[in-house]
Amino acid sequence: MFSLTVCDHIMIAHSFQGAEFGPAQKLHGATFVVEAEFRAAKLDHLQLLVDIGLAKVELRRVLDALDYSNLDDNPTFKGINTTTEHVAFHIHGLLAAACRNGSLGQGGRAVTGLKILLRESPNAWAAYEGPIA
């Protein structure tokens, strides 16, 4: 199995609902370093998994909708805690769709798995991985 990973980051504000979150119930923020790992069993005739340029552009496009914003104000997340786990899941859905719809070229259509990992601090990170149906 091959994988190719590209990396970018966003800077967001948010708060959490639920006593379990303690001080994180207050409005605060995070730099999320986002790693997008594309997986496929084979490379194409150019020895590429996906076009790394397209991968970076699509990741940035997905992140632009979140970057420099307060996630509490984003209708997409209404009533949903934007935990690191959930934001990883959210980005996974959008990048998986980009693979399927051809935005990542033929290589993207051949991607069989995708893992999105978000680092919230040097001591904590979360990820969602799943197949691309």
8 A C-beta contact, residue 44 and residue 106: yes
What's the min distance (Å) between Cβ of 45 and a second copy? Answer: 9
8 A C-beta contact, residue 10 and residue 32: yes
Q: How many residues does the chain have?
A: 133
What's the min distance (Å) between Cβ of 71 and a second copy? Answer: 9
Residue number with CB closer to a second copy (9 or 100): 9
What's the min distance (Å) between Cβ of 24 and a second copy? Answer: 6
Tracing tokens 């091959």 back to the chain, one arrives at 2
Tracing tokens 């009533």 back to the chain, one arrives at 79
Residue number with CB closer to a second copy (77 or 100): 77
Q: In the complex, which residues of this chain contact a second copy (CB under 8 A)?
A: 1-9, 11-14, 16-18, 20-24, 26-31, 33, 43, 46-49, 51-53, 56, 67-70, 80-86, 88-89, 120-130
Q: What are the tokens at 132?
A: 């691309």
Residue number with CB closer to a second copy (52 or 94): 52
Tracing tokens 């940035």 back to the chain, one arrives at 60
